[in-house]
């Protein structure tokens, strides 16, 4: 029995990247709207909530409720009319460390993520506004890219 209700949380495509001569276990990030399981770790960090709560918020998209939205995931190393999927390191299947930064103004979370001894591979920043939190994940190593989410509470 197939349903016409879309599944917004999907399985990811795993890839092995070589960045600065180091092997990284990564996954492909859907460009918008849909999420993959490995993204949950990236969202639970700045929100400081359990992944099960995130899964429920993502599943609410089926009901037309936009409690969490992925606006875009883009690579910044390609021409605008070309499309190459952005990849992120899998936080579970790599050696991961981080450096927390002091939040200023409406920044509620800011950290550099180091992956397999590559310093500042990513930066995650969360901005708090009156009715939502904006989360930006910026890939800095290998090639640059950005993913932007809005989380409504």
The domain limits of the chain are 9-152
Q: How far apart are CA 135 and CA 151, in angstroms?
A: 8
pTM of the entire structure? 0.93
Per-residue pLDDT tens over the stretch 31-47: 999 999 999 999 999 99
Quick one: DSSP state of residue 90? -
Per-residue pLDDT tens over the stretch 12-31: 999 999 999 999 999 999 99
Neighbour count for residue 70 (Cβ, 10 Å): 22
pLDDT at 86: 95
pLDDT at 3: 56
Give the residues of the chain that fall short of pLDDT 70. 1-5
């Amino acid at each position: 029995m197939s349903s016409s209700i879309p599944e917004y949380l999907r399985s990811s495509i795993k890839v092995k990247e070589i960045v600065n001569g180091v092997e990284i276990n990564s996954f492909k990030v859907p460009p918008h709207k849909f999420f993959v399981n490995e993204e949950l770790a990236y969202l639970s960090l700045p929100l400081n909530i359990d992944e099960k709560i995130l899964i429920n918020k993502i599943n609410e998209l089926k009901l037309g409720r936009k409690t969490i939205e992925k606006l875009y995931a883009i690579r910044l190393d390609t021409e605008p009319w070309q499309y190459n999927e952005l990849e992120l390191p899998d936080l579970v299947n790599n050696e991961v460390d981080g450096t927390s930064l002091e939040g200023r103004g409406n920044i509620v979370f800011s950290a550099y993520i180091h992956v397999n001894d590559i310093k500042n591979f990513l930066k995650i920043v969360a901005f708090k506004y009156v009715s939502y939190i904006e989360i930006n994940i910026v890939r800095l190593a290998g090639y640059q890219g950005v993913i932007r989410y809005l989380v409504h509470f």
